[in-house]
Amino acid sequence: MTLWARFCSWLGAALRRSRMESEMDAELRFHMEGYVEDLVRSGVPGHEALRRARLEFGGMERTKEECRETRGLNLVEGLIRDLRYSIRMLAKNPGFTAVAVLTLALAIGANTAIFSVVDAILLRPLPYPQASRLVFLSEYSEQVPGMSIAMANFNDWRSENHVFESMVAYQSDNVVLAGRGEAERVRLRRITAGFSPTLRVKPILGRTLMPEDDKVGAERVVLLGEGFWERRFGRDPSIIGQQLTIDSEPYTVIGVFPSRLHGSLRTTDLFTSLWRLENELGGEKNRGNHPGIYAYARLKPGVNLEQARGEMKGIAQHLDEMHPDSNGNQSITVQPLLEAIVEDVRAPLLVLIAAVGFVLLIACANLANLLLARATQRYRELAVRMALGASRGRLVRQMLTESVVLALAGGTLGLLLAVWISAAVVHGMPTGVPRLDEVSPDRWVLIFSLAISLATGIFFGIFPALQASRTNVQDALKESGRTGSPGSSRRRMRDALVAAEAAISLILLVGAGLMAQSLFRVLHADSGFNPSHVLTARFSLPDVRYKGDDKSRNFVEELVSRIQAIPGVEAAGVKNPLLGGWQTSYAIEGRPLPVRGQHATTDFSRVSPDAMRAMGMRLIRGRFFDSHDNAQTQRVCIIDETLVKQDFLHEDSLGKRIATDVHPGPGVQPAWMTVVGIVAHVKNYGVDQPSRVEMYVPIAQRPGGSGALLIRFTGDIGTFASSARSAVRSVDPDVPLFEMRPLEDIVNENTASRRLSVMLTSAFAILAVVLAGMGFYGVMAYLVNQRTQEIGIRLALGGTRGDILRLVVEKGLRLTATGIAIGLAGAAVLMHFISNLLYGVKATDPITFIAVTIFLSLVALAACYIPARRAARVDPMIALRYE
Identity of the residue, 66 or 437, whose beta carbon is nearer to other proteins in the bound complex: 66
Cα 863 to Cα 854: distance, rounded to the nearest angstrom: 14
Min dist. Cβ of residue 18 to other proteins (A):
16
Q: Which is nearer to other proteins, 466 or 880 (CB)?
A: 466
| Pick 72 or 798: Cβ nearer other proteins | 72
Instruction: Return the residue of 3, 5, 22, 56 that touches other proteins, per CB under 8 A.
Output: 56
Nearer to other proteins, 7 or 57 (CB): 57
Q: Which stretch binds other proteins (CB under 8 A): 59-67, 149-157, 164-172, 810-818?
A: 59-67
Rounded least distance, CB 36 to other proteins, Å: 11
Q: Do residues 49 and 34 touch, judged by C-beta distance below 8 A? A: no
3-state secondary structure of 251: strand
58-66, 286-294, 583-591, 800-808 -> range binding other proteins (CB under 8 A)? 58-66
Chain-centroid distance, C-alpha 370: 33
Considering the complex, state which of residue 24 and residue 619 has its C-beta at the smaller distance from other proteins: 24
The region of 63-71, 135-143, 760-768, 867-875 touching other proteins under the rule CB under 8 A is: 63-71
Task: Report the nearest approach of other proteins to the CB of residue 473 (Å).
Answer: 15
Residue type, 604: F
**Residue type for position 591:** R
Torsion over CA: 838, 841, 845, 850 (sign): negative
Strand 249-257 relative to strand 601-607, pairing: unpaired
Choose which of 9, 14, 34, 45 interacts with other proteins (CB under 8 A).
Answer: 34
Residue closer to other proteins by CB (options 54, 380) is 54
Binding of other proteins by 568 (CB under 8 A): no
Q: Choose the stretch contacting other proteins; rule: CB under 8 A; options: 18-26, 322-330, 560-568, 793-801.
A: 18-26
Helices (H) and strands (E) in the chain, counts: 27, 22
Closest by CA to 843, choosing from 513, 522, 525, is: 513
Closest CA to 826 of 500, 601, 562, 403: 500
Neighbouring C-alpha atoms within 13 Å toward the C-beta of 774: 19
439 backbone dihedrals φ, ψ, rounded to 5°: -70, 120
Closest distance of CB 381 from other proteins, Å = 24
Q: Name 750's Cβ contacts closer than 8 Å, sequence gap at least 6.
A: 685, 686, 687, 688, 689
SS3 of 221, please?
strand
Contact 244, 253 (CB under 8 A): yes
CB of 32 to other proteins, least distance (A): 9
Amino acid letter for position 488 = S
Q: Which of 221, 206, 295 is nearest to 252 (CA)?
A: 221
Q: How many CB atoms lie within 10 A of CB 854?
A: 10
Residue 32 or 413: the one with the smaller Cβ distance to other proteins is 32
| φ, ψ dihedrals at 239, nearest 5° | -65, -25
Exposure string (b/e) for 545-562, b if CB count within 10 Å is 16 or more? Answer: bbeeeeebbebbbebbeb
Give yes or no for residue 200 binding other proteins (CB under 8 A): no
To other proteins, the closest distance from the beta carbon of 408 in angstroms equals 32
Q: 12 or 314, CB closer to other proteins? A: 12
x/- track of binding to other proteins for residues 835-864 (CB under 8 A) = ------------------------------
- Chain positions 72 to 91 lying near other proteins, rule: CB under 8 A, are 72
Q: Please tell me whether residue 59 binds other proteins under the rule CB under 8 A.
A: yes
Shortest distance (Å) from residue 70 CB to other proteins:
4
The correct pick among 70, 238, 480, 669 for binding other proteins (CB under 8 A) is 70
**By the rule CB under 8 A, 66 interacts with other proteins:** yes
* Span 769-788, contacts to other proteins by CB under 8 A: none
Q: Which residue number, 388 or 447, has a Cβ lying nearer to other proteins?
A: 388
Residues 428-447 that bind other proteins (CB under 8 A): none
Would you say 182 and 734 are in contact if contact means Cβ atoms under 8 Å apart? no
CB of 397 to other proteins, least distance (A): 18
- Given 13, 40, 50, 63, the residue binding other proteins (CB under 8 A): 63
Return the residue of 10, 35, 85, 738 that touches other proteins, per CB under 8 A: 35
Partners of residue 178 on adjacent β-strands: 245
Strands (E) located in 595-668? 601-607, 619-622, 636-640, 657-659
Does residue 28 interact with other proteins by CB under 8 A?
yes
Nearest by Cα to 672 from 649, 651, 697:
697
Calpha distance 304→473 (Å, rounded):
63
d(CA 284, CA 474): 94
The smaller minimum CB distance to other proteins, of residues 66 and 236, is found at 66
Shortest distance, CB of residue 74 to other proteins, whole angstroms? 11
Residue closest to 572 by CA, chosen among 599, 600, 539, 611: 611
Partners of residue 299 on adjacent β-strands: 164
* Residue 58 touching other proteins (CB under 8 A): yes
Give the x/- contact pattern for other proteins in 617-656, rule: CB under 8 A.
Answer: ----------------------------------------
Nearer to other proteins by C-beta: 29 or 180?
29
Q: From the CB of 34, what's the least distance to other proteins, in Å?
A: 4
How far apart are alpha carbons 352 and 90 in whole angstroms? 33
- Counting beta carbons within 10 angstroms of the beta carbon of residue 502, is it exposed (0 to 12), middle (13 to 18) or buried (19 or more)? buried
With contacts defined by CB under 8 A, name the span among 68-76, 78-86, 667-675, 866-874 that binds other proteins.
68-76
CB of 66 to other proteins, least distance (A): 4
Residues of span 131-170 touching other proteins by CB under 8 A: none
Cis peptide before 876 (omega within 30 of 0): no
Among 6, 16, 31, 285, binds other proteins (CB under 8 A): 31
Give strand pairing partners of 710.
536, 573
Q: Which residues bind other proteins (CB under 8 A)?
A: 23-24, 26-28, 30-31, 33-35, 56-60, 62-63, 66-67, 69-72
